[in-house]
Structure 1
Amino acid sequence: MKAFFLFFLTLAGIYSAWAAPLFIGYYPDWGKWHKPAYTVDKVPYEKLTHVLWSFITPDTDGSLRGDAADDPSALDEMVALGHAAGTKVIVSLGGGGQSENFVPVASDDALRQKFIANLVQFVADHNLDGLDMDWEWEYNPVPDADTIAYNKLLTELRAALPEGKTLSAALPCSQYYGKFFTPEVLVKNLDWLGFMTYDITGDWDDKAMFDSPLYPHSGYTTWSWEQTHDYWKKRGVPTEKMVFGIPSFGFQFEGATGPGTDFTKGTAKQVPYKDIVANPDWEFFFDSVSVSPYGVSSTGYVTFEDPHSSAVKSRWVKDNGYAGIMVWEVSHDYIEGTGNPILDSIAVVLHNGSTDAIPYARKVRTSQQIRQQNATGKQVDALGKSVKGKPKFIRIFEP
């Protein structure tokens, strides 16, 4: 593991500004409270095409609320560092659990116009390259009036932004919330659509499943990247505007013994990648059907992404002509003195298309090669014992 992480140190600094596929990283403005602190100077700008400051939200009077609105010094430092590396800097609006003021502001013509004017001025004042909408509803069903308000805000914000400034959005990956969005409005007004292909499992599930599977795997997944593409493509979203999200965190379930098993309700929680790999209690495995790493211990199960799965998924994005990859978020896989193993792995693939430079247990394969191996490969269970007619799980690390 140590040698693997050290390898990626040599990758830092070899990337310059590069074009599509997009590589987007969300920066949490609360990173300064982490121990150790994750500040804007630690962001690997040279690996990213875009870094998104998270978050600014609307206040009830249409003004801007958030750390960067109160004290923009760290944001200004990010803009300077990002632009020096050829990376675009964007502010993301809203966020999960922070979107409660969107409805009253966006539903009122005067407040909506005030909010938009404040945003456009903020973009100009801080030399930002665009805005990202992360308005997340916390209730289902969503009233038609809320969808109308979202569409008005998006359309009018697009019209108000100067030419050359981007507008994007973080969006649900499945129909559960996706059905409340209007694809025609999204496609017309957004430079890219960022699908949150994570949090696919959690405490709401009956069984502990995989969190960000590339492909479906019966009994172990409830949704996947492939299904995300199929759903939104059918609704009229072009492939070249689709960005897929890789989580740099995992979901840990107490009481579960692996994917598809029961767990103790109320115990599912997010865990940063850096904490998962630092925990010696986990024994790690890899489901090559869904392209999902996971860990099992005496007390539970964790589903997460790692450099290998992230590289496979990045290869899938590049091979199929999608717009790019976004990562939530850039502090979760940051290891002090080492860097960002997941971000580094994605950058290798998106930057030069090659996976040969990734020193891992198995060479990263194309999606076709993965499917061929699944059809002919030896099947083993989560303990590595041969079985017949059961899903295939492959060890991710040597015992």
Structure 2
Amino acid sequence: MSWYAGWHGTGSTPDFTPENISWSKYTAVSYTFATTTPDVGTISLAASDEQLLPQFVELAHQNNVKAIVTIGGWTGSQYFSSAVATAANRSAFVQTALDLVSKYNLDGLDFDWEYPNKQGLGCNIISPSDSANFLSFLQALRAAPGGRNLTLSAAAGIAPFAGAGGTPMSNVSAFAAVLDYVEVMNYDVWGSWSSAVGPNAPLADACAPGADQQGSAESAVRAWTAAGFPAGQLVLGVAAYGHSFLVEHADAYAAGGAGASALAAYPPFVKGAQPMGDSWDANATAGLDQCGVYSAGGPTGIFDFWGLVEDGFLTDAGDVADGIAYRYDNCSQTPYVYKPSTQVMVSFDNAESLRAKGAYIKDTGLRGFAMWETGGDYEDILLDAISGAAGLEQKSAIVVQYGGRRRSSSLSSRLFSWMRRWMWR
């Protein structure tokens, strides 16, 4: 599966249109995002998406690829809880979802509810019954005549859905009976909200000091399978981007000071001094957010993989550029780069770390991988690395990537990726 960010294909100078998708490498592609609304009878698409989605679906079908739409996302999950809160609402929401499928000739739906019984955006409606109601909705959708043959999936955090008490459910096996797969979003584990520079998307963390064990792919898969979700229906979420931090020279190197050769592990960074990310990183203006809460704005500090090439951290081959300090953490399988001239350190993923994750997918029997975000790769370096190591051939891999670098700014994608820091772990 591939998530296609619709905002990349719209506007006067589109970043990435459906024609740019490497269709031959996917079995399914999901268009993001349709959003929930106060009216259970309406699932909203932006006017530009309503124009682009038919083109997207047509190209998918021409290439024998399933066309899916993702409902929700960080800013689109506000009314999920009320939409599934009662039997009447669930019935209406099932029909609304099926109407969306019919209108655009879709092959499936992907639900990115952030998060059942867990606050995400800050003003989402939530209820202790969210996960139970979500399951009842999915069961009704699957049982409906129009839902029996749909591909149904859900994007979720690295812990199972929250139960009535707010803690991860101990048994999610019923979800496996109605969902084709769950995408486990194993990224934004460390970021600007953390106490130190840590791995954005760690493969493992059991080998790290106790205070640095914030979650990982391995612990996530253990949690989901222990709760009854089969490994063969889990898709590992991986990142084609990294988080940047301002780290002073004295803290950046293991021995202290720029004269040392090795970068320090988990160094402190300068709080409140977020560096700009790549050329997609829009410097948001201050103002009220979607919830009516004041936001100071500023950059997210996110670097897509192509952005690390563009900004001189990496070469065109994805290797470390001259003058850049580098560290590879063998515990979490995470690379770090540091540019002394700007004191910017980035925790990200490269071909080596994604080969390690691909091998883990193969060894564990996971269904595949899901990469956020769509345009983050550079010349398919990351895609080829993970898919090759996972032993996934074209048209058999579940991946989230549409390859290639783009150089214009997209605030929506920057904010969406940055906001995932609130993901429940």
Residue 331 of structure 1 deviates from its aligned partner by: 1.2
Rounded Cα–Cα distance in structure 2 between residues aligned with 1:284 and 1:157: 49
Structure 1 177/276 Cα, relative in aligned 2: closer, same or farther at 3 Å? Answer: farther
C-alpha distance in 1 between matches for 2:72 and 2:178: 18
What is residue 384 of structure 2 aligned with on the other side?
A: 344
Answer whether contact 2:131 2:162 (CA < 8 A) is retained: no
TM-score normalized by the length of structure 2: 0.70
Q: How does 1:190-229 map to 2 (within 5 A)?
A: 190-216=179-205, 217-219=207-209, 221-229=213-221
1:247 matched residue in structure 2: 239
Contact 1:242 1:323 in 2 (8 A): yes
**Alignment-mate amino acid for residue 150 of structure 1:** F
CA distance in 1, matches of 2:228, 2:392: 30
Conserved? CA contact 1:40–1:77, under 8 Å:
yes
Q: CA 1:85–1:205 in 2, change beyond 3 Å: closer, same or farther?
A: same
Aligned to 2:92: 114
Task: Specify whether residues 157 and 175 from structure 1 end up closer, same or farther in structure 2 by C-alpha distance, changes over 3 A only.
Answer: closer
Q: Distance in 1 between matches of 2:391 and 2:160?
A: 32
Contact preservation (8 Å) 1:202, 1:269: no
Give the AA of the match of 1:247.
A
Q: Measure how far apart 1:135 and its partner are.
A: 0.4
Alpha-carbon distance in structure 2 between the residues aligned to 1:117 and 1:155: 13
Q: Which amino acid aligns with 2:386?
A: I
Q: Which residue of 2 aligns with 1:21?
A: none
Instruction: Quote the offset at 1:259 in angstroms.
Output: 4.2
Q: How many Å separate the matches in 2 of 1:233 and 1:167? A: 19
Q: For this pair of structures, how many residues does the alignment match?
A: 326
Which position in structure 1 is the counterpart of 2:356?
312
Deviates more, 1:111-120 or 1:246-255: 111-120
Q: Is the 8 Å Cα contact of residues 213 and 291 (structure 1) preserved in structure 2?
A: yes
Residue 276 of structure 1 pairs with residue 308 of structure 2:
yes
1:32 pairs with 2:27: no
TM-score by length of structure 1 reads 0.74
CA distance in 2 between counterparts of 1:162 and 1:153 reads 11
Q: Compute the displacement of 1:175 (Å).
A: 6.2
Alpha-carbon distance in structure 2 between the residues aligned to 1:163 and 1:296 = 51
Out of 328, 332, 335, the position equivalent to 1:293 is 335
Structure 2 residue 37 is matched with structure 1 residue 59 = yes
Deviation at 1:58, TM superposition (A): 1.9
Output the CA distance in 2 between the equivalents of 1:77 and 1:314.
32
1:139 aligned to 2:119? Answer: yes
**What is the rounded CA distance, in whole Å, between the counterparts of 1:102 and 1:212 in structure 2?**
27
Supply the AA of the counterpart residue of 1:164: N
Instruction: Give the Cα–Cα distance (whole angstroms) in 2 for the partners of residues 215 and 38 of structure 1.
Output: 33
**What's the secondary structure of 2:83's corresponding residue?**
helix
Cα separation, 2, equivalents of 1:114 and 1:151:
15
> Is the CA contact (8 Å cut-off) linking 2:37 and 2:78 kept in structure 1?
no
Indicate how the Cα distance of structure 1 residues 322 and 283 shifts in structure 2: closer, same or farther if over 3 A, else same: same
Report the Cα distance in structure 2 between the residues aligned to 1:158 and 1:204, rounded to whole angstroms. Answer: 39
| Partner Cα separation in structure 1 for residue 265 and residue 361 of structure 2 | 25
- What amino acid does structure 2 have at the position aligned with 1:149? N
Work out whether 1:44 is the aligned partner of 2:25: no
Query: Contact 2:57–2:67 at 8 Å: present in 1 too?
Result: yes
Q: Does 1:170 align with 2:155?
A: yes
Separation in structure 2 between the aligned mates of residue 147 and residue 175 of structure 1, nearest angstrom: 10
On the 8 A contact 2:160/2:227 being kept in 1, the answer is no
Q: Per residue, is there more helix in 1 or in 2?
A: 1
| CA distance in structure 2 between the partners assigned to 1:101 and 1:341 by the alignment | 38
Q: Is the 8 A contact 2:187 2:238 kept in 1?
A: yes
Aligned to 2:422: none
Question: What letter matches 1:97 in structure 2?
Answer: T
Indicate the larger mover: 213-222 or 246-255: 213-222
Match of 1:20 in 2: none
SS in 1 for 2:177: helix
Q: State the Cα distance separating 1:116 from its structure 2 match.
A: 1.7
Cα drift, residue 319 of structure 1: 2.7
Q: Distance in 2 between the 1:214 and 1:274 partners?
A: 22
1:236 aligns with 2:228: yes
* Residue-by-residue CA offset, 1:203-243 (whole Å, 9 max, x unaligned): 33212210111121414552111111111111111111111
Q: Measured at CA, do residues 347 and 44 of structure 1 come closer, stay the same or move farther in structure 2, by a change above 3 Å? A: farther
- Residue 378 of structure 1 is matched in structure 2 by none
Contact 1:52 1:89 in 2 (8 A): yes
Write out per-residue CA displacement over residues 154-184 of structure 1, whole angstroms, 9 at most, x where no aligned residue: 2222222433211110011136968445613
- 1:375-396 CA-partner distances (Å, limit 9, x unpaired): xxxxxxxxxxxxxxxxxxxxxx
CA distance in 2, matches of 1:52, 1:351: 23
Q: Distance in 1 between matches of 2:162 and 2:380?
A: 31
Residue 185 in 1 paired to residue 174 in 2? yes
Q: Which ranges of 4 or more aligned residues in structure 1 deviate by more than 4 Å?
A: 33-36, 175-178, 350-354
Which 5+ residue runs of structure 1 have no aligned equivalent? 1-23, 355-399
Q: 2:288 matched to which residue of 1?
A: none
Say what the alpha-carbon RMSD is for the aligned residues. Answer: 2.7
- Indicate conservation of the 8 Å contact 1:195/1:244, yes or no: yes
* Whole-angstrom CA distance in 2 between matches of 1:36 and 1:277: 21
Q: CA deviation at 1:45?
A: 1.4
Which AA in structure 1 matches 2:383?
L
Does structure 1 conserve the Cα–Cα contact (< 8 Å) formed by 2:335 and 2:350? yes
Check whether the contact 2:236–2:368 (CA below 8 A) recurs between aligned residues: yes
Residues 301 and 36 from structure 1, CA distance in 2 versus in 1: closer, same or farther, beyond 3 angstroms?
farther
